[in-house]
Amino acid sequence: MPFQAITPAHFPWFDYARYSFSLGLSTGRGAYLSGHTASEYDPVAKKIVVRGGMTDQVRTVYAKIGVILEAAGMGYGDVTRIVEYVRPEGIERYAEAAAVRAEVFGAHQPTVHTVPVKSLLRPEAFIEIEVTAGPMGAATDVGSASPGRDSAGIVYLPTIQPVDAQGRIVGAGDIVAQTAYIFEKAGKMLAALGLGFHNVVKTVDYLTADGLAQYKGTGRIRKQHLGPIYPGAAGLMMPRLVHPEALIQYDFIASRDTLECINPGWSRYDKLSYSPAVKAGKMLFMSGQGSLDPATERVLHEDDVVAQADYTYRNILKVLEAAGAGPEHLVKTIEYVTPNALADYRNVAGVRAALLRTPYPASTGLICQALLRPEMKIEVDPFAILD
């Protein structure tokens, strides 16, 4: 495989060599970085610490990202997508993060995904930032605060919220109405890029507990718009979203390549509005996986996050095998962990070390409010690039 771990000659914040993830991977399609907070090792306290308010933290994060990009032979101008994971206290100070981003990138505008989370693994951190860098297509104004971006045929839309042009909530208290409005906006954005919903390869939606009771009804909206090949997908519960009255928000990724559904033979997906994975050229956009038995639809290992992680990663490997790939093709993982799993979460590193291959994929670990099946303690959202 042409993947290479990005290894800066000097990375003063912490010793990254002992982790079961890479700071980032260089691939033939660009660079995929792990999520980073302002964490750094304090030699006096002999522990990892996070210092400063939002502005200082974001500057530290981008300093780290700059060093990693430089080690990959790239710079800020090569960044195509930014994902900002923000804890609730950070949302109140989000304007500070946006101001630092503007300082760092200047006239260059990557697509921005803004994801509120329950918390971060470093509890003092306000924000964690993950970037993708690669071939740069033109930015396209899609009527949002950040543009749509085309990178080697992969198109990223900015986070879509159920708000109108004046920033007012649409469909207050109705998650189905909010989803319908989001898809209406997404359709216009895709059309502006010369695409349609049939080009969508991945969706990630975030919802609040107040929207959960009616969440199944959003599947009707998805089936009206998506397909004939349904995208990979993930759905996560968070305590609040960017707009305080939003019950749901969406991120979309589309491709200009021909799409192929990848399924290891799991019949449960026949009734769903998403696929286990979608192959688009060399890219494999996979759905989030948890410890759900595809045959019985029962959650296994209810009280054990490590056993759940082991089962989850083994199912991810089955999806990769169905695509003619293996663990060496994994480029990036996002691990969403519930609060009641944190005590044992560090032991999931051993699962990754046992089942994955070096160079380890880039990875981001986040704390969600809950997962859609309450028995689940971890969900893994993977991405792969094939030979």
Which pairing describes strands 330-337 and 362-367: parallel, antiparallel, or unpaired? Answer: parallel
What are 313-325's pLDDT values in tens digits?
999 999 999 999 9
In CATH terms, are 1-136 and 138-287 the same topology?
yes
Q: pLDDT per position in the chain (387 positions), as tens?
A: 579 999 999 999 998 888 889 999 999 889 999 999 999 999 998 899 999 999 999 999 999 999 999 999 999 999 999 999 999 999 999 999 999 999 999 999 999 999 999 999 999 999 999 999 998 776 677 777 777 878 878 999 999 999 998 999 999 999 999 999 999 999 999 998 899 999 999 999 999 999 999 999 999 999 999 999 999 999 999 999 999 999 999 999 999 999 999 999 999 999 999 999 999 999 999 999 999 999 999 999 998 999 999 999 999 999 999 999 999 999 999 999 999 999 999 999 999 999 999 999 999 999 999 999 999 999 999 999 998
Domain ranges of the chain: 1-136, 138-287, 301-387
Residue 168, SS3? coil
Would you identify the CATH topology of the domain 1-136?
60s Ribosomal Protein L30; Chain: A; (3.30.1330)
Residue whose structure tokens are 């697509």:
111
How many Å apart are CA 156 and CA 145, to the nearest integer? Answer: 14
Fold of 301-387: 60s Ribosomal Protein L30; Chain: A; (3.30.1330)
Which tokens belong to 331? 């480029």
Spatial contact of 331 and 3, defined as CB atoms under 8 Å apart:
yes
Contact criterion met (CB below 8 Å) for 369 and 238: yes
pLDDT attached to residue 146: 73
pTM of structure: 0.95
> Tens of pLDDT along 131-174?
999 987 766 777 777 778 788 789 999 999 999 989 999 999 99
Total number of residues shown for the chain = 387
Of 65, 62, 9, 1, the residue nearest 29 (C-alpha): 1
Superfamily holding 138-287: RutC-like (3.30.1330.40)
Residue type, 324: G
Strand segments, DSSP code E, in 143-215 are 148-151, 154-156, 200-207
